[in-house]
Chain A
Amino acid sequence: MSYIAKPKITHPGMPKNKLGLTSSDYEGTVSTLCAGCGHDSVTAAIIQAVFELGVEPHMLAKMSGIGCSSKTPAYFVNQAHGFNSVHGRMPSVTTGANAANGDLMYIGVSGDGDSLSIGVGQFVHAIRRNINMCYVIENNGVYGLTKGQFSASADIGSKPKKGEPNNQEPIDPVSTALSLGATYIARSFSGDKEQLVPLLKGALMHRGFALVDIVSPCVTFNDHEGSTKSYAHTRQFYHHVIDIDYIPPAEEIKAAYAEGEAMPIEMHDGSTIVLRKVDKDYDLTSRASAFKYLREHFNAGEITTGLLYLDESRAEMHELMGNINTPLSQLPLEELNPGSAELKKLQNRYR
């Protein structure tokens, strides 16, 4: 949402992706968020992910609602179409856009207020429809633009900058998504780019609804002692469950994994996600055991991160609706209109 053009910095030595573009080709305008905001780190991770994936910029659709997080699509990939919609309604706009043209890659950037308070209805129904999109929640537990009110993701006992601690149960987007059947569920931290970038790549390439819940601290209103969404708190209670490496299609797995440490999973486009199991007891294909694990670690005050659930088998929205492969928006009238003779014929029923 910035109106300050960002100077394009480039030099001949910059690495290029498969399209011959450099990472600076994936930048946006200058961020107007507070210095040190977690969201700016997420923006940088998104830029790195789409650059490394070699996404054609104009084939990316950047969707958002309202709030600090929802401003960020202006800060990455200038040559992509952006849609900054109304508060809490990004999922419906993305649903319609995707219904019209499933050939684009959709990234929705939302926040905890946008997705879990005002927009919780649209959030859950987008999951039920299994819309093919990457849904990022930049989760900081507060409303920034209106100066620090709690959102629905605030933990019990978390202290605000002013006033009383939160005493209502938080809505956890990960366990919510798990219960609703989301097909790719991840959590990460804006301060852990190494973990986050591969998770974003996997989410962008996953066919179906991919949630990436990212703890992204608000430096102005929720980064103090007693907050459970601060940098310090997150670093202290951060718990890696499964990290992943993303390997593009037709590329060999080059990293050396120790025996039994890594498990490759092939995705729909032929790419591979290599699971690096940090916690060997975790089964990311079972909703029941994942839910139990998440709950137990939540009760212990831990923030579980990594790829927490994956199901590559479920049909996404277009398949569920039985739609033709050609984007509906590209069908000419001749293919949609049965003509005057048929109109005459069908009216026999109305005589």
Chain B
Amino acid sequence: MSTINDVVIKVATVNGTGSASANGLLMKSIFRMGIPVVGKNYFPSNIQGLPTWYEIRVTGAGYQSRSNRVDVMVAMNAQTYTQDMADVAPGGWLIYDSTWPRDQLFNRKDITVIGIPFSKLCNENFDGVRARILMKNIAYVGTVAALLDIDLDVIVKLLQETFAAKAHLIDSNMQAIRLGYDYANNNVICPLPMHVEPMDKTSNSVIMDGNTAAGLGCMYAGATVGAWYPITPSTSLMDAFRSFCSRYRVDPETGKNTYAIIQAEDELAAIGMVVGAAWNGARSFTPTSGPGISLMSEFIGYAYYAEIPTVIFNVQRTGPSTGMPTRTQQCDLLSCAYASHGDTKHVLLFPSDPEECFYMAPKAFDMAERLQTPVMVMSDLDIGMNDWMVPELEWDESYVPDRGKVLNAEQLEEMDKFYRYLDVDGDGIPYRTLPGVHPKGAYFTRGSGHTKLGAYTEDAAAYQDVVDRLLVKWETARGILPGPEIQYSKLNKSGIITIGSGGGACKEALDRLAVEDIGLNYCRIRSFPFNKDVADFIEQHDVVYVVEQNRDAQLRTLLINDIEANQRKLVSLLHYNGMPINSGFVVSRVLEEIAKGRTA
């Protein structure tokens, strides 16, 4: 039986050997054949020497999450050979470098082991240690191309584009491809029964990681000040912003920059810079991860109370403490929702993929400036650093940035007197002024107790007046933040609630459960505080599975705390081992709960 366009390839290599470009070439070739793909990189917190894996899921059905299955394993790392062999699904294939024979004891009867002498081929054809290592990677691309029937012309074209400026590299890379390709063709029956065939499902899509998309979104949103402290997995967000700015943010007349990127001495300084720049009217942001949020917390509370628009991208990684810096989780929901001492709560946005990272960047700035408060975009390592196929990004030319209630010089001139924290409009959002605009706009920004007029206070009623008004603003936020993505049918009595990168796995799980006649409605939350639609969704169902990627059911806690959701309805499905969630997990956990009698 043959399977078309539904295969998972996993490549096991050693960190620092240059396999990333080979894996990118492999995935893009399949993508260019019009077939949807999902790429996942499992890498160590290391520069060189430790094991690393790249997984490509070819999914003609267009699913977004990883599969928990491996059909074709390219085992290039002797160190992990045993483990890699164990990972192959029954009936699958394992490719290894047969330059050095493997002990037959390692072989499994239920899979096909294919030996290709990659090292021998490359040593005979290339000079220099570095070139031989690099070309060995390219050679396995050739082998996989033969086994899966990937179009060689597509690979040639990709190589030509990649090495447009270095023509000699096209020839050597192509030679390596052919070594792997021809050897496989001459020694193995190609293609395998599980292979690819051209489709037309990717022409309007791109392959991008979430950090690139978020950096691009910040540039399009008109962000001018970015301050940061390097931390995995958020670093590439600022790298992307810098790269886009160096191309699009240089004034043609003067050659000077229309952006400032400041590498801070720590996260305490990074957030201070963002707050200072925002106070002065610039769209400013910082990308960080969990440990950075911990350090930023004092300023986040300041920005909440002094009401300064502050945009933070939290690309979450596995905690607690240093945790596993190169593994994914959604583990900072509570620490971000309530970051800082005292009564504070913060607006969160939950992108589910790189596409939403892009669109939520301007949204985050709009909301931060409209609401004059910190807004945190809760991405994660899976979204931020992995390659996702998403619809081509588009920019709406009619977009007008929402700079919020900022008084200009003319408005101030006409005013009798300006008071910073007065709720003039009844929506809990006061008016603000920017330094240097008009003498009447001057006020004193402070994190200490203040009255609605902006003066220092230790008066009980005057203090309470302001913190109560912040609750009015909180309710305003609830009404204007992006609502959930909902799929609803009256027939279903149970539902799934998820956030962020859980979306893809849950949607795929719904398809798989439907095959077994289990119908579930779907709600992917996109913001906190929770929109009324979220409360209604919970209300409409007898059981709601809350799917999230942390140990302590943080989303469930937020639902109970923020909208007083009925906690007996909320059944947690928790995935928190650091690997991206997959549909198989959701399906099996739902079935388990049904077996326990948890659903109607």
- In the assembled complex, the CB of A296 is this many whole angstroms from the nearest CB of chain B, namely 32
A61 within 8 A of B: yes
A18 within 8 A of B: no
Residue in B212, B284, B444 whose beta carbon sits within 8 Å of that of A96 in the complex? B284
A333 within 8 A of B: yes
A194 within 8 A of B: no
- In the assembled complex, the CB of B441 is this many whole angstroms from the nearest CB of chain A, namely 7
Given the complex of chains A and B, what is the CA–CA distance between A90 and B512 in angstroms? 55
- From residue 72 to 115 of chain A, which have CB atoms closer than 8 A to chain B? 73-74, 78-86, 89, 91-101, 103-104
A–B Cβ pairs within 8 angstroms, 26 of them: A1-B456, A3-B456, A57-B442, A58-B438, A80-B442, A81-B436, A82-B443, A83-B444, A86-B447, A91-B269, A92-B276, A93-B273, A95-B273, A96-B276, A100-B278, A104-B436, A323-B257, A324-B251, A324-B258, A328-B259, A329-B277, A329-B280, A330-B281, A336-B222, A336-B223, A337-B219
One of B141-149, B372-380, B392-400, B591-599 contacting the partner: B392-400
- In the assembled complex, the CB of B416 is this many whole angstroms from the nearest CB of chain A, namely 15
A343 within 8 A of B: yes
B302/A85 in contact, CB under 8 A: yes
- In the assembled complex, the CB of B287 is this many whole angstroms from the nearest CB of chain A, namely 15
Contact status of A122 and B260, CB under 8 A, knowing A104-B435, A340-B397, A350-B206: no
- In the assembled complex, the CB of A59 is this many whole angstroms from the nearest CB of chain B, namely 5
B207 within 8 A of A: yes
A residues near B436, Cβ cutoff 8 Å:
58-59, 61, 81, 101, 103-104
A10 within 8 A of B: no
Given the complex of chains A and B, what is the CA–CA distance between A42 and B443 in angstroms? 22
B258/A92 in contact, CB under 8 A: no
A336/B439 in contact, CB under 8 A: no
Q: Interface code A307-341, partner B: CB below 8 Å = 1, 0 otherwise?
A: 00000000000100111110111110101111110
Contact status of A321 and B268, CB under 8 A, knowing A84-B447, A85-B447, A350-B207: no
Given the complex of chains A and B, what is the CA–CA distance between A121 and B392 in angstroms? 43
Given the complex of chains A and B, what is the CA–CA distance between A3 and B541 in angstroms? 54
B residues near A97, Cβ cutoff 8 Å:
276-277, 279-280, 435
Given the complex of chains A and B, what is the CA–CA distance between A86 and B276 in angstroms? 12
Q: Interface code B254-287, partner A: CB below 8 Å = 1, 0 otherwise?
A: 1111111110111011111111111111101000
- In the assembled complex, the CB of B11 is this many whole angstroms from the nearest CB of chain A, namely 21
Given the complex of chains A and B, what is the CA–CA distance between A57 and B435 in angstroms? 10
A125 within 8 A of B: yes
B residues near A325, Cβ cutoff 8 Å:
254, 256
A342 within 8 A of B: yes
- In the assembled complex, the CB of A99 is this many whole angstroms from the nearest CB of chain B, namely 4
Most chain A beta-carbon neighbours within 10 Å: one of B28, B251, B256, B435: B435
B residues near A86, Cβ cutoff 8 Å:
272, 298-299, 302, 447
A336/B393 in contact, CB under 8 A: no
B256/A322 in contact, CB under 8 A: yes
The number of chain B residues touching the other chain, given as a range, is: 35 or more
Contact status of A93 and B279, CB under 8 A, knowing A58-B435, A84-B447: yes
B444/A84 in contact, CB under 8 A: yes
B280/A84 in contact, CB under 8 A: no
Given the complex of chains A and B, what is the CA–CA distance between A13 and B451 in angstroms? 37
B residues near A101, Cβ cutoff 8 Å:
280-282, 435-436
Contact status of A323 and B276, CB under 8 A, knowing A86-B299, A89-B299: no
Nearest chain-A residue to B225 (Cβ)? A99
B74 within 8 A of A: no
Residue in B212, B248, B268, B395 whose beta carbon sits within 8 Å of that of A340 in the complex? B395
Contact status of A340 and B396, CB under 8 A, knowing A84-B447, A335-B258: yes
B residues near A96, Cβ cutoff 8 Å:
225, 227, 262, 272-280, 284
B residues near A344, Cβ cutoff 8 Å:
392, 394
- In the assembled complex, the CB of B535 is this many whole angstroms from the nearest CB of chain A, namely 35
B448/A340 in contact, CB under 8 A: no
Given the complex of chains A and B, what is the CA–CA distance between A13 and B397 in angstroms? 59
A residues near B262, Cβ cutoff 8 Å:
95-96, 99, 129, 321
B455 within 8 A of A: yes
Contact status of A331 and B224, CB under 8 A, knowing A84-B447, A89-B299, A97-B279: yes
Nearest chain-B residue to A331 (Cβ)? B258
Given the complex of chains A and B, what is the CA–CA distance between A265 and B259 in angstroms? 34
Residue in A2, A321, A338, A350 whose beta carbon sits within 8 Å of that of B257 in the complex? A321
Closest 8 CB pairs of A and B: A92-B272, A96-B276, A96-B273, A100-B282, A93-B276, A81-B435, A96-B277, A329-B281
Q: Interface code B438-465, partner A: CB below 8 Å = 1, 0 otherwise?
A: 1101111111100000011100000000
Most chain A beta-carbon neighbours within 10 Å: one of B244, B255, B258, B399: B258
A328/B258 in contact, CB under 8 A: yes
Contact status of A329 and B434, CB under 8 A, knowing A99-B273, A100-B277, A100-B282: yes
B477 within 8 A of A: no
B442/A343 in contact, CB under 8 A: no
- In the assembled complex, the CB of B424 is this many whole angstroms from the nearest CB of chain A, namely 20
A146 within 8 A of B: no
- In the assembled complex, the CB of B582 is this many whole angstroms from the nearest CB of chain A, namely 24
B220 within 8 A of A: yes
A residues near B266, Cβ cutoff 8 Å:
121
B401 within 8 A of A: yes
B282/A329 in contact, CB under 8 A: yes
B437 within 8 A of A: yes
B478 within 8 A of A: no
B31 within 8 A of A: yes
- In the assembled complex, the CB of B320 is this many whole angstroms from the nearest CB of chain A, namely 24
B residues near A280, Cβ cutoff 8 Å:
none
- In the assembled complex, the CB of A333 is this many whole angstroms from the nearest CB of chain B, namely 5
B32 within 8 A of A: yes
- From residue 275 to 329 of chain B, which have CB atoms closer than 8 A to chain A? 275-282, 284, 298-299, 302
B184 within 8 A of A: no
Most chain A beta-carbon neighbours within 10 Å: one of B216, B395, B444: B444
B residues near A80, Cβ cutoff 8 Å:
435, 442
A11 within 8 A of B: no
A residues near B401, Cβ cutoff 8 Å:
333
A347 within 8 A of B: yes
A residues near B254, Cβ cutoff 8 Å:
324-325
B residues near A340, Cβ cutoff 8 Å:
394-397
Given the complex of chains A and B, what is the CA–CA distance between A74 and B445 in angstroms? 10
A80-B435, A96-B272, A96-B275 given. 6 additional CB < 8 A pairs?
Answer: A91-B272, A95-B269, A323-B257, A336-B224, A339-B395, A350-B206
- In the assembled complex, the CB of B484 is this many whole angstroms from the nearest CB of chain A, namely 27
Residue in A125, A335, A342 whose beta carbon sits within 8 Å of that of B269 in the complex? A125
- In the assembled complex, the CB of A108 is this many whole angstroms from the nearest CB of chain B, namely 11
A162 within 8 A of B: no
Residue in A57, A121, A322 whose beta carbon sits within 8 Å of that of B439 in the complex? A57
Nearest chain-B residue to A128 (Cβ)? B265
A147 within 8 A of B: no
Given the complex of chains A and B, what is the CA–CA distance between A85 and B397 in angstroms? 38
Residue in B248, B256, B273, B446 whose beta carbon sits within 8 Å of that of A1 in the complex? B446
A residues near B223, Cβ cutoff 8 Å:
336
B residues near A8, Cβ cutoff 8 Å:
none
Q: Interface code A247-278, partner B: CB below 8 Å = 1, 0 otherwise?
A: 00000000000000000000000000000000
Most chain B beta-carbon neighbours within 10 Å: one of A58, A329, A339: A329
